[in-house]
Amino acid sequence: MTMTDKCSEGTLLLPFLDESEWIEELRIFIYLVALLWCFMGVAIIADVFMCAIETITSKTKQVKVARQDSDQVDLVEIRIWNDTVANLTLMALGSSAPEILLAIIEITILNRFNAGELGPSTIVGSAAFNLLVITGVCIMTVPAHEQRRIKSVKVFAVTASFSVLAYVWLFFALTVSSKNEIELWEAILTFLLFPVLVVIAYIADKDYCSGKISPQDPGVLELAEGSKVLKTPSHDPEVESFIKEVSRNPNLTEDEAAVLVAAHIKSKQPKNYGYYRVGAIRDLGGSHKLTPNMDPQLRLIYEELSEVGFSSSGASAIMNHALGGKVQPARVEFAAPKCAVLESDKLVRIGVTKTGNTKIPTTVNYETINGTAMAGSDYEARKDVLVFKPGETLKHVDITIIDDDEWEENEVFFIKLSRFDYKDDSVEIGGQSVTEVTIINDDEPGIFSLENPSFVIKESIGKASFKVERTQGTDGKVEVKWKTIDQTAVNGKDYHGGSGTLVFEHGEQVKYISIDIIDDKDFEKDETFIVELTETSEGAFLGNVKSAAVTIVNDDGKID
């Protein structure tokens, strides 16, 4: 089909609808949705199929293994299927089933044993992708500070050689032996190469050619689910510690303990291709992750242990908590009984610690309580919960502080912890259940002073203005009171004084005191009075020049 060919006029929705006459864009959208739906169906089928293969290849049998330090034997479980054989047969069949079925259907049904455009191309392309791209990605994803080694170099060499041989044989069969045609003997020989590959790979895996058969390493033997044997020759300290903890737990039966131990040992074994394929499909489809088959309560314990680790103390706490046994409680309290914050910081963060049993999830309440600081005007009230996940030992409570630009005394409020569920004995509130938060006022209303310590004005000026300056801060609204004091000039005769109040709004720096001067047209000596700043609002201060002498200079002419 060339780039200019159009799709056929057939229909996919019959007998329900005939969409052949619909607009092309709508048909493209419908077919895309149908294709994605088919992909989802294939993923579900592949999930079930691969799980079935995983079940088959995980079959075990019981064998007796002698202990190294005594004459006693342990009954343990080992896998029946060899990993190499399983990967080359069942796992390969499961992963390549879509390509194989596509090629078979196209050749036998659609093209009457003639190769089409999809089948062979899909198989060759998939094989090339696995050989080149997958190998390259696996190499590139190894972190720079880590190393990966091929577990069985001989098996890798065999499979890699056969992969290259497959392409050489395909080229020979299609271009040299019988051009563009596969004869019967070529097909039979191609098929027989597969069991030859399996046999040679198995021999390489078992190392039969060297004449030495490596004994089964007891350190990698795994217990089967349901086995009542709790002892294993494993040399893993974590496994041994977990076995001891499970064995002496009074809340677990012998069978339940064996199931948990078997699942843990099995989880530490190398996973085959099918395990990761099924896991990836389930992640894409949003399904549950692969977990051992067990009782729901045991499954919950196993999943929690998988998250926090199978250490002795953690295992004990989680199992007792899940099984209703007596569990050491977690202790939650504030990291400090008091803390302080500048008002301009606008946020205070208070630490809350969890000690005691840190392996269990813990939830506590917290709420703010008014002191001299009031919610809504000085801080934002909070009433919420803190959730500690297993292993978490520190959380924080964040409270918003309101910066109002008004000077005020330092103020305090409180935060209180309480249990989320008063019937839950797995958590207790420590001695520092309340913390005191001090809001430190950092507003600067300023210092207020007269511009000069003395002024000289003419009697004929009419109205005199005296400048009052605000320095070293302009926060908030401030009131400054003033008054006049008679000297040789008399209030009501030479000027109209008294007292008054200047109001500085937030940010204002200069105000003026205005006083009317009386011009009596009589010749007289110069006279004086005093203007004095007497008081400011709380938080503000008077400067060095808080009073000034005002001299009224007579500018009337002398009359004889």
Closest CA to 295 of 269, 321, 260, 325: 260
Three-state SS across 59-109? CEEEEEEECCCCCCEEEEEEECCCHHHHHHHHHHHHHHHHHHHHHHHHHHH
Closest CA to 352 of 413, 411, 400, 398: 398
Confidence at residue 289, expressed as pLDDT on a 0 to 100 scale: 55
Could you tell me the sign of the dihedral formed by the alpha carbons of 303, 304, 307, 309, in that order? negative
Residue with tokens 């080229």: 171
DSSP state of 364: E
Residue with tokens 């004869």: 183
Determine whether domain 447-553 maps to CATH 3.40.50.10810.
no
Residue with tokens 């989802």: 40
Q: Tokens for 163?
A: 């992969």
Confidence at residue 225, expressed as pLDDT on a 0 to 100 scale: 36
Q: Which residues contact 521 (CB under 8 A, 6 or more apart)?
A: 556
Model pTM? 0.40
Confidence at residue 226, expressed as pLDDT on a 0 to 100 scale: 36
Closest CA to 402 of 379, 424, 384, 372: 379
Q: Where are the domains of the chain?
A: 24-206, 237-308, 330-440, 447-553
Confidence at residue 239, expressed as pLDDT on a 0 to 100 scale: 65
Establish whether domains 330-440 and 447-553 are of one fold: yes
Beta bridge mates, 401: 379
Determine whether domain 330-440 maps to CATH 2.40.50.140.
no
Q: Print pLDDT tens along the chain (560 aa).
A: 444 445 555 555 555 666 777 888 888 888 888 888 877 877 777 677 767 777 776 677 766 666 656 666 666 666 677 778 877 787 677 667 777 777 777 777 777 777 777 767 777 787 778 778 877 887 888 887 777 777 778 888 888 888 888 888 888 887 888 877 778 888 899 889 889 988 998 888 887 776 554 444 444 333 333 333 334 444 566 666 666 666 656 566 666 666 666 666 666 655 555 555 556 655 555 555 555 556 666 666 666 666 555 554 455 555 555 555 445 688 899 988 888 888 888 899 999 999 888 878 888 999 999 999 899 888 999 999 999 988 888 999 999 998 877 777 788 999 999 988 777 777 888 888 999 999 887 677 888 999 999 999 988 888 899 999 988 877 778 899 999 999 988 998 889 989 999 998 887 888 899 999 888 777 778 899 999 999 998 778 898 899 999 998 887 655 44
Cβ atoms of 553 and 456 within 8 Å: the answer is yes
* Residues counted in the chain: 560
Confidence at residue 231, expressed as pLDDT on a 0 to 100 scale: 41
